Amino acid sequence: MLVELIFVVIKILVVITVLLLGVAYMTWLERKVIGHMQVRLGPTHVGWKGLLQPIADGLKLVAKEDIIPTMVDKPVYIIAPLLSLIPALSAFAVIPFTNATVNLFGTEYHLYITDVNIGLLYVLALSSVGTYGIIMSGWASNSKYALLGSLRSSAQVISYETAMGLSLIGPVLLAGTVSLKGITEAQANGFWFIVPQFVAFVVYLISAIAETNRAPFDLPEAETELVAGFHVEYSSMKFAMFFLAEYANMYVVSSIATIVFLGGWNGPFGPSFIWFILKIVALMFFYLWLRATLPRLRFDQLMTLGWKILIPIALVNVVVTSIVLYAIN
């Protein structure tokens, strides 16, 4: 029991460390990829090819003065970034990234943190909790830009969350479980759910990008009109936490897309976690590509896309999938 407990803590620390490093190097990759897509070089000065740039940025943010404006609601102002970051990190407790096991004192332990039979619902629930961080930060800041940004952002996140949840019903129908490990194993024969559920995959991907406030749905941050949206009054580490939460959330939605639609850890050969990471990196690159390609949507276009296009498509997909599934059985 004690061995198991210690092992779980070690697994959690390793996963969080890898995740935070992944977030840091995602920012490097983003600047490099978008730089090259716009025929620039991106960061080059700190370290070889700018590889130490994320570390330098992190240190800079820690050492910055922490400005808390006088008019803010202080407790809420401080809790808000925590409430963004904690759900984003905690979602990784149920992500099965490898099927490898390790033998400790005669007992087999799996390497992912845990698997619960409500895994997918747990991740969806946590992504809803993250919305509170956005609303609270906008309200507590007592700044007009922050309030407008947080209203927009929360309306956007909750609109697309509905489409996201509905698009995941189709694969769950096929798998017959919401355990993320179960969904991965249901695709072990190489028949990934992206093939029968391609419509759901497209709906999911669009909602996921909107859910994480990424371009072309980055309205909360719209620099040209809202300066930075809900985190305009935040500085130093508190700002960094919103940043970390946004990128960690990108990893969460990519992991769910990988597990539910792209077969998770399943690959033709080699160790399973390599395949999992490869699929996630491919999705992340796709996000960057989108950001370099598409202009930002207007807010009414964004809401129209979410409510009038994605939700009906997702509902039709659920009905058609269930009827076809019943007819086949």
| Cβ-based burial of 293 (10 A; exposed 0-12, middle 13-18, buried ≥19) | exposed
Q: How far is the CB of 213 from other proteins (least distance, A)?
A: 16
DSSP 3-state helix, strand, coil percentages of the chain (rounded to 5)?
A: 70, 0, 25
Q: How far is the CB of 48 from other proteins (least distance, A)?
A: 27
**Cα radius of gyration rounded to whole Å, the chain:** 20
Total residues belonging to the chain: 329
Residue 300 CA to its chain's centroid (Å): 24
**Residue 243 vs 275, nearer CB to other proteins:** 243
In the chain, beta strands by DSSP E: 101-104, 107-110
**Residue 281 vs 315, nearer CB to other proteins:** 315
**Residue 48 vs 326, nearer CB to other proteins:** 326
Q: Give the single-character DSSP code of 108.
A: E
**Residue 44 vs 73, nearer CB to other proteins:** 73
Q: How far is the CB of 211 from other proteins (least distance, A)?
A: 13
Q: How far is the CB of 112 from other proteins (least distance, A)?
A: 10
Q: How far is the CB of 7 from other proteins (least distance, A)?
A: 10
**Residue 68 vs 292, nearer CB to other proteins:** 68
Q: How far is the CB of 148 from other proteins (least distance, A)?
A: 8
Q: How far is the CB of 109 from other proteins (least distance, A)?
A: 11
Which runs of consecutive H residues, i.e. helices, occur in 106-233? 119-141, 144-175, 180-186, 198-211, 223-226
| 103 beta partners | 108
**Residue 93 vs 288, nearer CB to other proteins:** 93
Location of structure tokens 């904690």: 86
| 301 beta partners | none
**Residue 286 vs 307, nearer CB to other proteins:** 307
